[in-house]
Structure 1
Amino acid sequence: MTRSTGRMRTIILIAAALLLLVAAGCGNNGNAANGKAGSGGNGADTSANAGKTNEGQTNADQTKTEAPMEITWLSFNPPEDDSSPVQQALEKKFNVKFKNIRIERANYNEQMNIKFSSGEIPDLIYLDSSPQRVEELVNQGVLAELPVDEIKSHMPEYAKTLDDTDPSVWTYGQVDGKSYGIPVIWPIGSLPFLPGYNADWLAKIGYNEPPKTLDEFEDVLRKFRNDDPDGNGKKDTYGYSGQGTDSRSFSTVFGAFQVRTDYMVDPKSGQIVYGMTTEGAREAFKLLNKWYKEGLIDPEFVTKTANDYHDDFVNGKVGVRDWMSFQFEPRIGIVGSPFYTKNPDNQIVVGKQVSGPDGDGLAYSYGAKNAFLAMGRQVADDPAKKEKLYEILNALATDDQTYLTSVYGIEGEHYHMENGKPIMKPEFASENNKYKIGAGTFYGLFGTKSKLMEHYDYTDDTLKFIDGLREKGGQTLESLPLYVPAMDKYLDLGKLAQQYFIKFVRGETDLDAGFDTFVKAWNNAGGSEILTEVNAKYKDTFAK
């Protein structure tokens, strides 16, 4: 099959999954062995036998004296009304009536606060991944306690995927040792940041494989700058760039020195440190400054955004792009898809993290942590409602048909199955049209977020690509969404680091006495206090 033919066959599936994937912004322990799509199980079976019990009775017969339980539900991208096909299917399955809380995604937390301050607290609340947000709502008395053991007893299969992926995710939803959130993970978020190379350029400069060491990486950058890799007879190409003061800039270089420039776990001491203040960062900045002076780094990196750098790589201005490696995926990656569209006869060669002076480099990673599902405080006094919520959430995360209904709609009406994959009908392929039928993210809280359902969300080729990236990854330096009260006191620390970041790369401040001055200034401006609190709060959380 040619690349263009494969792309045409999967385009509708791609359109259905793309925005769900991107929303995870801004890495298969599970499988379908416990239930097949369309077979029922605990799912929202929409076939002709929907609602039938094993004894031939309908659910309606059994529950005709039991009124549906009302559940208020707060998530993002709600359906336009309360009678969408997906809502009706889920309500019938679980004998509930959803009251949808509608707020705009753009200012989700602000509108949420208004609701809460007026006493309108939903039963189910979707929260972003910020531990600070969880702590704020706990202190305001908004959330019900959800003990970890309780979550694991009600959602055992899903909980195992969390333990297998990253057991530290349980920590972020805790306040003073008590848990208030069911962690939601983004499995592909654990994939490494890796360098992607323009394959034609590599071949032009004599490389038949990507560089493995920092010295080889430097040689590639120099030849990408000086040896006319695009063959246009002009010296108008660069090997490397960045995105301003973004802490993800130059991740390949910092990773080679086993550091990242924000909060990280020191691989040697196990303590949480601010990576930009470490000796590894000093050495990385020295090398970057050397390359900058030599002209190997695009000098316009200072004003570039991440998308600008993506475009420069796609358009052949820069030959290396280091980024979250999934985004090099040819079909739906935000770098890969436009690259292959513009350069159909070229390829992106994804290399491994290069090694540095202390041995193997460590690749950046977002990590799998993504969000929390919380319950309003009133649920703590209503055991039946809490049980019902656990029942629904467990099915959304682990049951094939319930997952498919919540994320893709009604089989036969909105999608059909092809080779085990849900293929959206063209009229429902866009995310906005999915929202109208109640599918997507509002009820589909685990869309692209449950490893047990991963086989539905990606084509087999994409899954193979993902597995290959996991093999390349090695040990990673994950981002840490930490929160301690001292962070509220010292809000200017980030600005201080950003100012010095640019100065170090461009050589405006020397990296001997000047770097020491920065470290001292950072610690005295509150950094030292923050690290003391952070290491006390997260002691042993990241122990290997």
Structure 2
Amino acid sequence: MKMLKKSITFSMLAMVFATSITACSTKSADTGVASTASTTPTNEVATNSPNAEANKYKDPIELSLALWDVESGLAKSKDDAIYQLLSKKFNVTFKPVGITWDDYAQKINLWAASDSLPDIFSIDAIGTPTFYNWVNQGVVKPLPKDLSKYQNLSKYLDVNDIQATKINGQFYGIPRRTYPSLDYNANDRVIFYRWDWAQAAGVTKEPNTYEEFKDMMVKIVNANPEGKKPVGLTGLPKTAPDVLWTYSNPLATSDGSGADSKWVKEDGKYIPAIFSKNSLPTLKLARDWFTSGIVDKDLPLLKGEQHYEKFASGKAAAIVVSGGYINGYKKIEKDRFSKVYPDKKFTEAVKSLKPLVSTDGNRYHPVFKTYWSESYFNAKISDKKMERILDLYDYLLSNEGKRLVNYGIENVDYKLDGAKIVPIDPKVVIGEKYPSTLVFNTLATWETLYPVDDANDQSWMNKDLQKDAIDYMKFIKGNTKVPSFSPELTLVSTPAKDKFSVIHSDFLIKIMVGTDDVEKMFNKEVEVYKGKGLDKVIQEVNEKSQQMGIK
């Protein structure tokens, strides 16, 4: 989920305040993944004493780190008390290596090819040909097989979908878990739309079906509110298509990596969901919406934050937001909409679109993983440096570490009241007071469920929008369905599959903007991928499924 990446998210952590929150532990019915996101001191693994740490970390180490926003996060490290605390604790300094959402994959692949990778870097590579090449060519350093001395890290990794990322029984990266269950993937792709414009155009109720949503968009565009000639639905080309797949083929949704295909059984064998005949209704819908002006004609070319600008400035009636309510608050309402429309109340002017009724009568949301992206380590780093890194990660995954990088310094920014974390000054934004937390609270894990799950969470300035976010997730949990699939087949390694990749968003957009018959184009694209080895991939995965006992 790149924007997820993904962006997802990351913006939320940037807004975290010192907060009052109780411990939580949940288990996903669809993945069997247990959450370890508790921030209370209960059952916390003990950390080393200061004297033991001083002896263990007597030699200083510099760690080069490539992570989104790392340069801005560490720019004032000398004045950042949390940076200084971690630096002193582990006797490390961090050398930021800048990457952006637009260039991170290109940069990291270039560094890998030129043998110039930083010590630590993050990218969404699991399951891709790139990942398998890195493993086979010794580009990334594996974690030790015995992780027992890293108790928090070992516990964190001991869940089903993360264990499935091992190669020959060994981890070659640390997945950054985002959620305890797939339900929360719904917050990775949320459509926000101008409800005030819809009402002015004669719409009296929120849309429940794709047809009703189209009708609403047509009415808004034709009404030309504010004289700005707004387009219909905008978004980024890599993430927006996911909301269309849910019309007829929700398992074709993708995190954008090109290697996260969910497999469905069709005509007696497993195939990647995107090549299922269930894709055709979605592709026809996409074509219809594009040709009728419901989808922004510029969408295939948009990048960065251009879609936010369009929507917030009144030039689009709806927007697909990666990162959902979190980015809806930060990137739209707080940073832009409130400045363009200072007299409008965001939650009255804008609504989120609940998942619509699909072709089979159910409601679906995009389905990805419980984690997005991974931390990797340059194979050339010494065992001593690797041990220091793993000690850091183990601490960041401890309850003490989580409290530090999310809520600040105990008795300075918050106090513990039993199982609760009570902010000393609720108005203090931890990410602004300690910019390094925007790096350290996303380095090992995302774990971004609180703002859309806990009414007591104080990471929002707009409490009305927070309530909407909580209500949205309640609707998701009570009214949507996650189709059954085997995550093992998504990650299984075979010779042909390891070299195969399909970008689902590109697949949809190519047909959406095309002029030939949709079904004809679909069949032609299937043949193109057969030329890239699709049949062999299907054969190998089906053989593996039998060996794994997946019927």
TM-score greater than 0.5 by the shorter chain: yes
Aligned with residue 168 of structure 1, among 142, 161, 171: 161
Distance 1:320 1:538, change over 3 A: farther
Listed as ranges, the matches of 1:109-508 within 5 Å are 109=108, 113=112, 125-131=120-126, 132=128, 134-141=131-138, 142-147=140-145, 150=148, 154-155=152-153, 158-159=156-157, 163=159, 167-172=160-165, 174-187=166-179, 191-226=187-222, 228=223, 230=225, 232=227, 236-241=229-234, 243=236, 246-259=237-250, 260=252, 264-266=261-263, 273-305=271-303, 307-324=305-322, 326-327=324-325, 331-334=329-332, 337-343=335-341, 344-345=344-345, 346-373=348-375, 386=387, 392-400=392-400, 402-406=401-405, 419-420=422-423, 430=432, 434-435=435-436, 439-441=437-439, 445-446=443-444, 448-449=446-447, 458-459=459-460, 461=463, 466-473=469-476, 474-475=480-481, 486=496, 498=506, 501-502=508-509, 504-506=511-513, 508=515
Amino acid at match of 1:504: I
* Residue number among 81, 85, 88 corresponding to 1:89 in the alignment: 85
User: How many Å separate the matches in 1 of 2:424 and 2:253?
Assistant: 40
Residue 459 of structure 2 aligns with an amino acid whose one-letter code is Y
SS at match of 2:528: helix
Distance verdict in 2 for CA 1:332–1:381, change over 3 Å: closer
Q: Secondary structure at the match of 2:518?
A: coil
Cα separation, partners in 2 of 1:540 and 1:315, compared to 1, 3 Å:
farther
The letter for the 2-side match of 1:170 is Q
CA apart distance, 1:332: 1.7
How far, CA to CA, are the matches of 1:536 and 1:20 in structure 2? 47
CA distance in 2, matches of 1:540, 1:334: 49
Equivalent-residue separation in structure 1 for 2:279 and 2:333 (angstroms): 27
Asked whether the 8 Å contact 2:190–2:325 carries over to 1, the reply is no
Quick one: which amino acid aligns to residue 220 of structure 1? Answer: M
Q: 1:194·1:322 contact (CA, 8 Å) conserved in 2?
A: yes
In 1, are the aligned partners of 2:12 and 2:448 still within 8 Å (CA)? no
**Given residue 458 of structure 1, which amino acid in structure 2 is its aligned partner?**
S
Deviates more, 1:459-468 or 1:252-261: 459-468
Say whether residues 1:516 and 2:523 are aligned partners: yes
Deviation digits for residues 395-435 of structure 1 (CA, Å, limit 9, x no counterpart): 312223x334456765688x677943787979x9659x734
Q: Is contact 2:122-2:376 (8 Å) kept?
A: yes
Tell me, what secondary structure is at the counterpart of 1:332? helix
Quote the Cα distance in structure 2 between the aligned partners of 1:90 and 1:242.
Answer: 38
Counterpart in the other structure of 1:24: none
Partner of 1:311: helix, strand, or coil? Answer: helix
**CA-to-aligned-CA distance 1:480-523 (integer Å, 9 cap, x gap):** 789866478667x659x84x745633451112334322322222
> Distance between the aligned counterparts of 1:221 and 1:121, measured in 2?
47
Higher RCO (CA < 8 A, seq sep 6+) = 2
Q: How far has the Cα of 1:290 moved from its partner? A: 3.0
Separation (CA, whole Å) in 2 of partners of 1:150 and 1:391: 12
Q: Aligned-pair distance for 1:541?
A: 9.8
Look at both structures and tell me which one has the larger radius of gyration over its CA atoms. 1
Instruction: Give the Cα separation in 1 of the matches to 2:118 and 2:493.
Output: 24
Amino acid at match of 2:321: W
Q: Secondary structure at the match of 2:366?
A: strand
- Residue 52 of structure 2 is aligned to residue 75 of structure 1: no
**Where does residue 25 of structure 1 map in the other structure?**
none
User: Following the alignment from structure 2 to structure 1, what is the Cα–Cα distance between the partners of residues 519 and 131?
Assistant: 41
Please, what is the CA RMSD of the aligned residues? 5.1
The corresponding residue for 2:257 is none
For the structure 1 residues 217 and 272, does the alpha-carbon distance in structure 2 shift closer, same or farther, using more than 3 Å as the test? farther
Partners of 1:458 and 1:541 in 2: how far apart? 44
What letter is aligned with 1:98?
Answer: V
The AA in structure 1 aligned to 2:402 is Y
Asked if the contact 2:283/2:512 (under 8 Å) is kept, the reply is yes
What is the deviation of 1:154? Answer: 4.7
